[in-house]
Structure 1
């Protein structure tokens, strides 16, 4: 007997996220992946090179459980809670992506044309990934947090800067998807 697994419905995963956020708020903690990167860099000695990393990182060790949970959760989700169905993309989106050179649009979560070992041999792909990484890093620092921190923690605690940041993330995503991506490919 074959067991077919589907993603958790919103009415299961949404309340679970809400419970985690309520617990974090109760204990006076915040959630965000970029703060974990800052903590890891501080542990590695980055404070010798930049004042941004000079802080008592021991107070943030609890937050590294988020990284561990993301790794373990990703492994469990990939190997035990996923099925092999294709991503349900709009047919018009599939055609647009194929016209840009993405051959298997919707077959994988990330396009192999950008995120495979073979793709890293292309100077164009390397430049796109490096510039994209720099822009994401700069944007995260400039916005005072990442998308997960602002959209989950910031919005749930009714922070106006997080609302502004999330609106900016969506506007940036729309500009990238509709204006810049077609120019690159």
Structure 2
């Protein structure tokens, strides 16, 4: 099985590219979805997060992502503590999903991971797709999308490796700063390249 990484940055349009790949027939595993699954009510993951970060559960017993986000985005130590709890659980769940897909005869999987390069996961991939936009556009989209002021947007961007620093690790770069049709054409080209790799 061939394993491809899909990454980008906050508000770079990675979800758009992920959707386009799915439409083309790609089997996409989304790290954010897996990360939510490992902290569902009743999981050891949620128990561990609740114990380490008191007060982050909502009245329904589910994780209050806004509360947790406010704590970890502001503090690198807290963010590292959360990652240390959640990342191993995500990695295990991902491996189980890949094994299940391999058993079904799936030949290639795209792993959609926001912090792929920060986590050093690119080393284990057969190729990496980077969804790229210029930083001023990324910040503007983030402010619009999440209703953030400039300082809050900067703090979120600072929590990730800049897109320009991710470029050297990419096999393919999808420039998502133009029209959707342009992005789609680039994604189709990348998918053809993945298929050509056997």
Scaled by the length of structure 2, what TM-score is found?
Answer: 0.30
Scaled by the length of structure 1, what TM-score is found?
Answer: 0.31
- Which structure is richer in relative contact order (CA contacts within 8 A, separation 6 or more)? 2
> Which structure has the bigger radius of gyration?
1
Q: Which has the higher strand share?
A: 2
